[in-house]
Amino acid sequence: MRAINRLDALLYASNLLSPRRTATLEVTGRHSGRRLSLPVAVTHLSGERYLVSMLGENTNWVRNVRAAHGHAVLRSGGPEPVTLHEIPADERAPVIRRYLAIAPGARPHIPVDPRAPLTEFERLAHRHPVFRVAPREDPPPSPTP
């Protein structure tokens, strides 16, 4: 799976042969300090962009984004420095529903029909972090030893 993710990350970053609404997320590893890349589906809703963790709270990318205070880079063609702002669980349901509509590979990990009422998504929203993508306004923090 790591090899497939690396290949997808390269394709999504180049914006060649990549599906719509995809990008590569680059974030600094909280332990290694190295730049880590992974493919992501970018969810658009009400004029905003979001990233959803289909695998939940304990994924490395979520932990790394939190440790980096949200500082990351999205690549879809060229690099875009961004800040990812985690949204509260009670605001996540509409984003998660939209995410399932554009990312069918996430459906086995989020067991709700994409057409279900929002109440179904509200029940599991606390398990799936959602980050709003914003342009980066301040420099990233210095790496900690």
DSSP codes joined into one string, the chain: -HHHHHHHHHHHHHTSSPPTTEEEEEEE-TTT--EEEEEEEPEEETTEEEEE-TT-TT-HHHHHHHHTTTEEEEEESEEEEEEEEEPPGGG-HHHHHHHHHH-GGGTTTS-S-TTS-HHHHHHHGGGS-EEEEEE--SPPPPPP-
The pLDDT tens digits of the residues spanning 35-61 come to 999 999 999 999 999 999 999 999 999
The pLDDT tens digits of the residues spanning 111-131 come to 999 999 999 999 999 999 999
For residue 139, pLDDT beyond 90: no
pTM of the model as a whole: 0.82
Mean pLDDT for 57-73 is: 96
